[in-house]
Amino acid sequence: MKVTPKSYLLVDCGTANTTAILIDVVEGRYRLIGQAAEPSTALAPWNDAFSGIQQVINQLMEMTGRRLLTAEGDLIHPADANGAGVDIFGLTFSAAPALKTVLVGLLEEVSLGSGRRALNTIYAEEIEQLSLTDSREEKEQIDALLAQLPDLVLMTGGTDGGADDRLIRLV
């Protein structure tokens, strides 16, 4: 006999907020029973995602009157005949620091500008840039890169058959 889950508790730990939703079957259809959100505790200064998860679940319990956790704070799983607990628990963790990115391009106005526009489409922070117009000595540029410990180096610029070797020399 196949048992179909009826109740879902879904939580997302994000950079700004931790959010939980409770979905259950009401009159034969899935319905949103409640939603709760609290400021995220996943990143500094708290660095404790679990605390934020407990906060939103407690908030959902207050809002809905439904018991989801035991007295010890453990999730009641699966849901019991009295409606306490949930059948399915889902967690996503979307809180992460921005990718520390070094932008490398031929010219500020063209290549680096294009690179910045591309960089703005992802969750990234430009921490350093290198270009042909950089007035620092090569050693200073290398030291700057090493000091930053980037997650990503984005190289942009040049055209087919263009100044590729100059761009590659920068890195």
Residues 57 and 61: their CA atoms lie apart, in Å, by: 6
**Which range (87-96, 123-132, 149-158, 162-171) has the least confidence?**
162-171
- For the stretch 5-40, pLDDT in tens is 799 999 999 889 999 999 999 999 999 999 999 999
- For the stretch 52-93, pLDDT in tens is 999 999 999 999 999 999 999 999 999 998 889 999 999 998
For the chain, domain boundaries: 8-93, 99-170
Per-residue pLDDT band at 132 (split at 50, 70, 90): confident
Q: Is the pLDDT of residue 50 over 60?
A: yes
Percent of the chain with pLDDT over 90: 52
- What would the mean pLDDT of 146-152 be, rounded to a whole number? 90
Amino acid at 63: M
Q: Which residue has the higher pLDDT, 62 or 144?
A: 62
Instruction: Report yes or no: 132 and 139 within 8 Å, Cβ to Cβ.
Output: no
Instruction: Report yes or no: 25 and 3 within 8 Å, Cβ to Cβ.
Output: no
Query: Which strand ranges, in their side-by-side order, compose the sheet holding 88-93?
Result: 29-39, 17-26, 8-13, 88-93
Q: What is the pLDDT of residue 138?
A: 85
Q: What is the CATH number of domain 8-93?
A: 3.30.420.40
Q: Is the pLDDT of residue 3 over 80?
A: no
